[in-house]
Amino acid sequence: MITIKINNKNYEAGEGETVLPVLIREGIDIPHLCYHDALSPYGSCRLCMVEVTAGGKKGITASCTLPVSEGLEIETETPEVVQIRKVLLEMYLAEAPGSKKIQELAKKFGVVHSRFADFDIEAKGDRCVLCGLCVRACNELLGIGAINYAGRGTNSSINTPWYESSSACIGCGACAYVCPADAIDIIDRGDERIMETWNRTTLKLKECVESKQYFATEKAVEYVYGKDSDLPEDLKDLSADSRRRKKAADFVLKPRRK
């Protein structure tokens, strides 16, 4: 175990950890957009900035990529750190004015206007903050890479190759699950799932043989079975609810020795 000081109080951290997970675990409130505990830290949103003192030197850096080390001292609320957060939030308000998450953070930090754009804070608009969590989920968790950064500068976006519907996307929804800005639209209609944000990539949904409910895309089910050949074939056509029911029924009906 490693001991670090946060806001003048000692905390234990694990070998190899970075500072942000410690702050989150200890309930120390710090804004962050591009961090998810299932994915590698990327350090792109810069909202998790803290003041750090190490080896007698002070600096300001992103806590999600800062490794813990014995005696590290962290301050999360210095005037400089708070000021950086506010300027960043002004930029995010200009970048993604439609994001509820950004609107909430801006409100929390008293940011009511942005010097970087003219907009109505309540207006619907862009929601993506370019944090890249969706890209990393698709790459790191699934190994698929159906989406990536595209364009430059103010035209940057996350997109499919050539801005066309993707043949690689399996419609699992992991991207939408990790997105902090609720910026990815997925529509289930009839027997189809439309990945609206990914240029309307359209996939067939699989129907549960018992409940007759659509529960996942055919491609996502094939992907899961392709990864794990030990999965029982008889569960392949069942939704999660039906699988649970079947398990419970099997347990109740199983003959037991007296």
Give the containing element (helix H, strand E) for 202.
Answer: strand 201-207
From 19, 28, 45, 102, residue interacting with ligand FES (rule: CB under 6 A)? 45
- CA-to-CA separations, 180 to 34, 92, 224, in angstroms, rounded: 8, 13, 25
From 6, 89, 172, 183, residue interacting with ligand SF4 (rule: CB under 6 A)? 183
In the sheet that holds 73-75, the strands lie side by side as: 9-13, 2-6, 73-75, 49-54, 57-62
Q: Considering the rule CB under 6 A, would residue 64 count as an interface residue with ligand FES?
A: yes
- Minimum distance from CB of 156 to ligand FES (Å)? 16
Q: Considering the rule CB under 6 A, would residue 134 count as an interface residue with ligand SF4?
A: yes
- Residue 108, C-beta contacts closer than 8 angstroms, at least 6 positions apart: 31
From 129, 170, 205, 221, residue interacting with ligand SF4 (rule: CB under 6 A)? 129
- Minimum distance from CB of 147 to ligand FES (Å)? 19
- Minimum distance from CB of 128 to ligand SF4 (Å)? 3
Q: Considering the rule CB under 6 A, would residue 214 count as an interface residue with ligand FES?
A: no
Quick one: tokens of 229?
A: 């050949």
- Classify burial at 152, counting beta carbons within 10 Å of its beta carbon; exposed 0-12, middle 13-18, buried 19 or more: exposed
Nearer to ligand FES, 46 or 101 (CB): 46
Binding site for ligand FES (CB under 6 A): 20, 32-35, 43-48, 62, 64
